[in-house]
Chain A
Amino acid sequence: MKANTRTWYRLVALLLSFGLVAAACGGSDSAGSDASDGGTDETTDAGDDSSGGGETLTMAIVAPSAKNDLAFTQSMVDAINALDRDVDLQITDGTFVVEDAAAAIRGYAEDGVQVIVAHGTQYGGSLAEIAPDFPDTTFIWGTASDTQGLDNVFAYFPAADEGGYVNGILAAGLSESGKIGVVGPIEAGDAVAYIAGFQSGAEANGAEVSVVYTGSFGDVALAAETATAHIANGSDVLTGTAQMVVGAVGVANDAGVPWFGTQANQTSLAPDIVVASQVYHWEVVLEEMLTLRDGGTKGGQAFEIDLANGGLVIEFNDKFELSDELKAEADAAIAGIIDGSISTGA
């Protein structure tokens, strides 16, 4: 009997050890770059610790949600994988606790990772403390429109209002009730810009827009109930931003209500009702930052992705039938935003 008890204790100890390891691994992953065969043509022989001359560049992402969230975090993972460089990429995702993210950022810096992406506005305070301790490391932080005066930090921000405006134009064109619902997270970061642009575009096309910030980036059930409430109040087209919208997309799908996505292409969530998604292509500005770094500039500049530089792209769902007239309206809006004749109002 005693031997049996001891066996049980060993089993429990084994399970707990396994659990601790799994918990530690759950939020962290390492992924090779899809661009590993793309060579290192764009690096320069800067004579420092840059990745020029065919060397592999070590990069890390620290992000608040899952790396495949079909939204914010995935947009950055996809962008780094699309770089035309040989990149050894490590990812720590799911760091919704800022202190955890700070520990990961510092850990990567201490491990000698050359470029660290702190993918979350909320990490700015931590970065202001960490970045000065590692002057040879380049930190890339966003979404943010300034570098906090740190010369080894690059900042990035999406002009999400631009794609939001285009989505808004299309949404208003599709709406029969003239009412459109928006499911937002917390009123911060690029969500504000996207929603402001969307509202502006939809209203320019004669629709009424109801915007709800649920107060959470992660509450899927609440996002779903918000979508349900929008539909019950007459909205017949929906959009939303951040990772919790997967719940809202499900509700829209059940009701057959068209959905507009942002950050990443959300068509796979509901191929029948996703009309179009504004997709972030951070690689456009990442490439500029890394080229500067190759030349010896470790940071100190802010970058923006927009429709003009190709960092923002409206990707349509081919399965959703959109009239030529509406597509032409969207194209006209994109052209107008790029040439400055249309203001998104954001």
Chain B
Amino acid sequence: MSDFFTVSVLVSVFASGIRLATPYLLASLGETIGQRSGVLNLGVDGIMLLAAFGAYYTALKTDNLWLAVLVALLVGLMVGVVYGLITVSLHAAQGISGIGIFLFGLGFSDLLFQVWVGTPLPVPHKLPKLSIPGLGSIPNIGEALFQHNLMTYGAFMLVPAVMFLLQKTTFGMNVRAVGENPQAADSLGVSVGRTRFMAILLGSSAAGLAGAALVLQGGIFQANLTNGLGFIAIAIVYFGAWRPLGAMAGSLLYGMVNATVVQLKVQGTIPRSASDLASMAPAVITILALVFLAGRVKAPAALTKPFARH
């Protein structure tokens, strides 16, 4: 265990935890916006898979990573349009609609992969690391915090941006209003449908970016690449009490615990006999945190409730 508390190991764990947290953060930030407007999107994982494949295929064929990110964003946006039509325009139940989107994403991304790619091939280039001038060269701290790829920096910069959006803009105020009391917002002239639709589009686009981050960090796609990551992102939204900073804390917790468990396994501190138990640690800690927070935080009052003007 003493080997763990060395500077080099701690730096490695922090850097690993931040990398692992990036897709969770992007997806949970987007889902936070959606849920604050009263829309639960259980299809995050499916959107991520579709966007991840879009980014992967684009990167594989063009070797243009930023075009790949753009494609992922657009894929997320398109699926968001479909989900918005289903849940906002058609007033369908959000839970089952989200599951439908997930299943569609799971199956269709695999189908496209099988038809267009087949055997897994790595993309020519992954997202490159960018050392932030002046900060990246700080001993240890620089390596842990300031030597990541642009999508990681972007994800963390989105946290204050989403905070500003939700707290300081008219749109954000409308989002919160339609998530708490859509009837009252409607009576004050706020278009509930349009606001929720926009929130869904933002959330789906962020899920698309999460898919891009996942696939372009790893450099390869395979069936069910997300491995349930999108559902964990939804749990992180609850963990974070529907706040961007909370989503960041939850994503970092999940990433850091995972990175710590990996490191302890590599060093042999966690014996192989306890390996499977240790692998459950991130999920167990998240569940415990959710239990601890239950009753202490309040979900948006109109979450999962379709709105129809009577």
Report how many residues on chain B are interfacial, defined by Cβ distance under 8 Å.
54
Give the chain B neighbours of A216 by CB distance below 8 A. Answer: 227, 279
Check B16 against A210 for contact (C-beta < 8 Å).
no
Query: Which residues on A sit within 8 Å (CB–CB) of B266?
Result: 181, 210, 212, 226, 229-230, 233
Q: Are B86 and A68 in contact (CB under 8 A)?
A: no
- A24 and B224 form a contact (CB under 8 A): no
How far is it, in angstroms, between the C-alpha of A206 and the C-alpha of B109 when the chains are bound?
Answer: 45
| Residue in A8, A23, A268, A270 with the greatest tally of chain B CB atoms within 10 Å | A23
Cross-chain contact A229 with B82 (CB below 8 angstroms): no
0/1 string, B9-34, CB within 8 A of A gives 1: 10010001001100100000000000
A237 vs chain B, min Cβ distance (A): 14
Which residues of chain B in 37-61 are interfacial with respect to chain A, using CB atoms and an 8 Å cutoff? none
From DSSP, what is the main secondary structure of chain B's interface residues? Answer: helix
Interface assignment of B119: CB less than 8 Å from any CB of chain A:
yes
- Do A187 and B272 have beta carbons less than 8 Å apart? yes
B288 within 8 A of A: no
What residues of A have a CB within 8 angstroms of the CB of B224 in the complex? 94, 96, 218
Asked if B201 lies at the interface with its beta carbon under 8 angstroms from chain A, I say: no
Q: Which residue of A has the minimal Cβ distance to B255?
A: A225
Chain A residue with minimal CB distance to B277? A215
| One of B214-222, B233-241, B299-307 at the interface | B214-222
A94–B227 alpha-carbon span in the complex (Å): 12
**Per-residue 0/1 for B57-79: is the Cβ within 8 Å of any A Cβ (1 yes, 0 no)?**
00000000000000000000000
Q: Residue A175 at the B interface, CB < 8 A? A: no
CB-defined contacts of A222 to chain B, threshold 8 Å: 20, 258, 262
Does chain A have a CB within 8 A of B156?
Answer: no
Is B100's CB under 8 angstroms from A19's CB? Answer: yes
Report A15-73 residues with CB < 8 Å from chain B CB.
15-16, 19-20, 22-27, 29, 65-70
Digit string of B260-276 for contact with A (CB within 8 Å is 1, else 0)? 00110111100010011
Residues of A contacting B20 in the complex (Cβ-Cβ under 8 angstroms): 221-222, 225
- The docked-state distance in angstroms from the alpha carbon of A8 to that of B90 is 10
- A253 within 8 Å of B (CB atoms): yes
- In the assembled complex, 28 residue pairs joining A and B whose CB atoms fall closer than 8 Å, in A order, are A9-B90, A16-B86, A25-B111, A26-B114, A65-B223, A68-B118, A68-B120, A94-B224, A96-B224, A187-B272, A210-B266, A213-B275, A213-B276, A213-B279, A214-B262, A216-B227, A220-B227, A221-B20, A221-B218, A225-B20, A226-B265, A229-B263, A243-B222, A246-B220, A247-B218, A250-B122, A254-B126, A270-B122
Task: List A residues at the B interface (Cβ < 8 Å).
Answer: 8-9, 12, 15-16, 19-20, 22-27, 29, 65-70, 74, 93-94, 96, 181, 186-187, 210-216, 218-222, 224-226, 228-230, 232-233, 243, 246-247, 249-250, 253-254, 268-270
Known pairs A20-B100, A68-B118; list 7 more (Cβ under 8 Å): A70-B120, A96-B224, A210-B268, A212-B265, A220-B222, A225-B262, A233-B9
Identify the 6 closest CB pairs spanning chains A and B, nearest first: A215-B279, A26-B107, A23-B107, A19-B104, A26-B110, A26-B111
